[in-house]
Structure 1
C-alpha cells in the first residue's frame, strides 16, 4: 500500500492526475511545467522558446507542459522505485 500512496503523492507533486486516457495536467502542473520550460529556455532549448511564446491558454502550450511534467514524474518513479 505504501507504494500506491507514494505514487499518488508523486502525481500530486508533479501536478498530474490519472485518467483512463493517460495523464491530465492540473493548473499547478501547468505552473510547474512553465517554470521548467523557463529553465529550458534559459539553456537555449528551441522548443521551450517556441512554446513559451504562445499564450498561456494555448492548448499546445498546455500539452508541452503536460509532457514536461510526465517526463519529470516518470523519472522520479523510476529513480525511487515507486
Structure 2
C-alpha cells in the first residue's frame, strides 16, 4: 500500500496519525457511533454502557476511536497488507 493509499484509508475511517497515536475526527466519531449503535442493537454490553454515557463524555470518543482503529486495521488486513 502506498503512503497515499494509506492516508486515504485513514481519512476514510476518520483518523489522522500523530506521533502519539491515532486521533479521531468528528467524521470518525460519527462513524464509530453508528457502529456502536449497531453493536448495541446486537446486544453488545460494552456498546450499551458507552452509549449510555453523556455525549460529551471523553470515554464515548475513546470508544469511537477504538472502533475506527479496529475498522481501519481490518480494512488493511483485508487488502492483504
TM-score between the two structures when normalised by the length of structure 2: 0.95
1:49 paired residue number? 48
Matches of 1:56 and 1:3, distance apart in 2 = 36
Gaps in structure 1 of 5+ consecutive residues: none
Q: Which has the higher contact order (CA 8 A, sep 6+)?
A: 1
Residue 2 of structure 2 aligns to a residue whose secondary structure is: helix
TM-score between the two structures when normalised by the length of structure 1: 0.94
2:33 paired residue number? 34
Gaps in structure 2 of 5+ consecutive residues: none
Count residues in correspondence: 81
- Aligned-residue offset at 1:19: 0.4
- Aligned-residue offset at 1:35: 0.1
